[in-house]
Amino acid sequence: MPVFAQQVQIYGRLNTALEYVHTSADTAGTTLGNVTRLSNYRSVLGFRGDEDLGSGLRALWQIEGALSVDTGSGGIANRDTRVGLSTPFGTVFGGNWTTPYTSSTAQLDPFYPTTAGYMSIMGNGSAPTSNNVIDTTSFDRRQQNSLHYWSPNWNGFSVRLAHGLSEEKTAVRKPSLTSFAAIYESGDWYLTLAHELHTDYQGAGLDDKGTKLGVAYRFGATRVAGVAERLRYQTPSGPLERNAYYLSATHQIGPHGLRFGVARAQDGSGSSTATLGPLRSGSDTGATHYTLGYDYALSKRTSLFSYVTRIDNKRNGLYQFAINELDTGAGADSSVVAIGMRHSF
C-alpha cells in the first residue's frame, strides 16, 4: 500500500497599532472626547495541512484562532477552521469559515481588517464568528456550522457556495444562511458578483438579502477598486433597505505603499421602524467613511503603517468603526490617527 506524506504549516499574523481617537458630540450633546488606546487588528495563529490520498484527492484541514496582542486573550478555533476534501471537481469542506459574500470583496479594501476597515459601512457591520441567531444584521461574517463548495478555476472564472445549517431551528422558525460568489480574475482584472440570503433572521418568514458587485484593475504599481452593495431586510414592521458604495486606490513605490479608501452609506429607506446595526430608515441616516494611509515594508513579512480615518455621520446617522468600535450616539463623528506594526509568519 502506498504511503502519502502529510504537510503541516504553522502560520500567523500579529497586527496592532497605537490609536489616538476623537469623537464629536452627538445630537444629545454627549461625547467620549479623546482616547488613546492600543488596538488589536484581528491577529491570528493557525495550523493547516493536507494529505495526498491519491487519484486526485487531497484531505484538507485548518485550525485558526484569534489572538489579541493588546490584551493577551484569544481562542484556538474561533476563526477560519475546517476539514474537507479537494477533488478534480472542486473543494468541499465544513466548519467555521468566512462566507463567499464576505471574502469576494475583502481584498478590495486595503485597510481590512483594521479599525479603518470598510465594514463600518459595507456589509452593515462585522461578525467575526457567528451563527444564525447571534448576529442577525451583518453581511460581513464568518459562519459557524457551514458547508462550502469552491469550484475549480475555469480560465479565470470560479464560483463559491456556502450554506449555514439551520441548527437553531424552533417550532416556528428555521433560520439559515446561503451565500454565493462568482469571481473572474485574470491578469490585471478582478470582477465579482456576490449574493447572500438570510432566512428567518428577523422572524419567521422574514428573509434578508445582500447583493454586491466588485471590480478592481491594476496598472503598473497602482490598483483601483470599487464595490456597490444593496441590502434589503424584512422586519416585523416592514422592509428596510440601503445602498452603499466603496472606492479604494493603492500605489506601491518600492517599500513605500500609499493607501486610500472611502465608503458611502446612503440614507436607509422603507417602512420599517427597526434599527439593525447602524442601519435605520429615514432622512439623514447615512454616513461617509474616509481613510488615508501609508505602509513601509521592512521585509516581506514585517511592515510599519500609519493611517488617518474618519466617519462623518449625517444628523441621524449611527455609523461607527466595525472593530474596536466606540459607544457613540446619533450624529457623532469619529476619527482615528493610528501608528502600527504588522508581522506575518
- pLDDT for residue 107: 97
Full-model pTM: 0.95
Taking only the tens place, the pLDDT of each residue in 186-217 is 999 999 999 999 999 999 999 999 999 999 99
Q: Are 151 and 182 a contacting pair, CB within 8 Å?
A: no
> Average pLDDT, stretch 88-99?
98
> Average pLDDT, stretch 157-185?
98
Reported CATH class of domain 6-344: mainly beta
Question: Distance of CA 90 to CAs 3, 159, 160, 182, 185, Å?
Answer: 24, 10, 10, 14, 17
d(CA 35, CA 41): 17
Phi, psi of 39 (to 5 degrees): -115, 140
Taking only the tens place, the pLDDT of each residue in 284-315 is 999 999 999 999 999 999 999 999 999 999 99
Sorted by where each begins, the domain ranges of the chain are 6-344
Q: Exposed (0-12), middle (13-18) or buried (19+): which is 124, by Cβ within 10 Å? A: buried
- pLDDT for residue 289: 98
Cell of 155: 480560465
Question: Distance of CA 57 to CAs 2, 60, 236, 288, Å?
Answer: 14, 10, 47, 47
